[in-house]
Amino acid sequence: MAFLDLDGLRCHVQWLEPRDGGAPAATVVLLHGLLTDSLASYYFTLAPALAGAGARVLMYDQRGHGRTARPPSGYRLERFVDDLENLLDRLGETGPLHLLGNSFGGTVAFALAARRPAQVRSILAVESEPATAAWAGKLDGILRRAETELVKKSTLAWVAAQRGRHTARLARSAGVLLAQTTLAREIPASRLPAEAELRAIRCPVLAVYGTRSDLAPQAAWLEALLPDCRSTFVPGQEHSVLIETPEVVRELTLSWLRDQGVPLRAPAADLATAGTPSRAADRRSAR
């Protein structure tokens, strides 16, 4: 565990080196989502498998989340991307990097690829999308509702009954974040990249959706927008694909990295399993 100063932001960073002590087969950066998420979503699920396969794994708590500092303002998307750039520069990670982003983390990954295309080798986006006017409008509604509901005892009691006490604690923490910062108003006011900037993202992209997610219908749009994008769907899942089916995301990630030419060093049996994820249906673009 380490804390780094990123242009005045005290940032909590974790990284795992290849478990076998060899040279990294690749560097994979794991980006978490908003409000109830943190690097902990990866630490006990995906990250150890990647390190075991020979990757260098970089994780950090985004501003306002986890153990990273919580400034009262400064939550537009571009500030999150600035943080990632500063972190990579501080660590000397020049790339090419493989980015895996969950929800808002994927939005940050797309924004970095648009800003620094030579530094990003590939993107795996789980239940995510690039920043657009539609994205901003949707986040505005979601965050305003969360700002109102997550301070209510009745809401937190319902979450505890339906999702468990741990999720209720995360929801309560998210309510505090929204109450103490301008995040709910700044995220929708983020600078939105022009369509030409998004079309310029040339790296390979794998977009992962739950079949019951409201993001699943955007798959065709994203494949048409990006030059090298394909989609895969996890049956029966909604938005929480990473949390509900971490083993599927792990298999998809290992298989995806192999497809990108990363010389993983996991045992052959593990790689064989990773190459044939049983619970995800793949759809490659016809282009």
Instruction: With cut-offs at 50, 70 and 90, classify the pLDDT of residue 269.
Output: very low
Tokens linked to 222: 């994203």
Same domain, 172 and 32: no
Domain finish residue from 159, 189, 219: 189
Residue 176 CB partners (closer than 8 Å, separation 6+): none
Q: What is the mean pLDDT of the chain?
A: 92
Number of domains in the chain: 2
Helices (H) and strands (E) in the chain, counts: 13, 9
Dump pLDDT digits (tens) for 199-246: 999 999 999 999 999 999 999 999 999 999 999 999 999 999 999 999
Examine the domain organization and report whether 185 and 165 are in the same domain.
Answer: yes
Beta bridge partners of 283: 231
Residues 158 and 201 occupy one common structural domain: no
Q: For the sheet containing 2-6, what is the strand order? A: 2-6, 9-16, 56-60, 27-31, 97-102, 120-126, 205-210, 229-234, 281-283
Is pLDDT of 54 > 70? Answer: yes
Q: Name the strand (E) or helix (H) holding 169.
A: helix 165-180
The answer to whether 80 and 64 are in contact (CB under 8 A) is no
User: Do 97 and 179 reside in the same domain of the chain?
Assistant: no
Average pLDDT over residues 42-69: 96
Answer with the one of 153, 174, 189 that is the final residue of a domain. 189
pLDDT bin (cut points 50, 70, 90) of residue 276 is very low
Whether 165 shows a pLDDT value over 60: the answer reads yes
Residue with tokens 């998420």: 37
Compute the average pLDDT of residues 105-129. 97
Query: Do residues 74 and 145 share a domain?
Result: no
d(CA 180, CA 192): 25
Picking from 170, 189, 208, the residue at the C-terminal end of a domain is: 189
Residue 12 has pLDDT above 80, yes or no: yes
Residues 118 and 75 in one domain: yes
Residues 24 and 166 in one domain: no
- 90 falls in which pLDDT band (50, 70, 90)? very high
Confidence of residue 281 (pLDDT cuts 50, 70, 90): low
Res. 268 pLDDT band, cuts 50 70 90:
very low
Q: Determine how many CB atoms are found less than 10 A away from the CB of residue 118.
A: 11
- What is the pLDDT at residue 261? 96
| pTM: predicted TM-score of the whole model, two decimal places | 0.91
Q: Using 50, 70 and 90 to split pLDDT, how confident is the model at 134?
A: very high
Residues 242 and 263 in one domain: yes
Average pLDDT score over residue span 232-261: 96
pLDDT confidence tier of residue 51, bands split at 50, 70 and 90: very high
Do 175 and 43 sit in the same domain of this protein? no
Domain that holds residue 117: 2-131+192-283
The pLDDT value given to residue 260: 97
Are residues 105 and 148 both part of a single domain? Answer: no
Residue 285 pLDDT > 50: no
Is the same domain home to 241 and 113?
yes
Tell me what the mean pLDDT of segment 74-89 comes to. Answer: 97
Is the model's pLDDT at 63 over the cut of 90? yes
Q: Over 50: is that where the pLDDT of 287 sits? A: no
pLDDT at 280 over 70: no
Which CATH number goes with the domain that contains 231? 3.40.50.1820
Alpha carbon distance 133, 139 (integer Å):
10
Query: What distance in Å separates the CA atoms of residue 264 and residue 50, rounded to the nearest whole number?
Result: 9
Q: How far is CA 26 from CA 16, 114, 179, 189, in A?
A: 12, 21, 39, 35
SS3 57: strand
Model pLDDT, residue 282? 56
Q: Are both 114 and 235 inside the same structural domain? A: yes
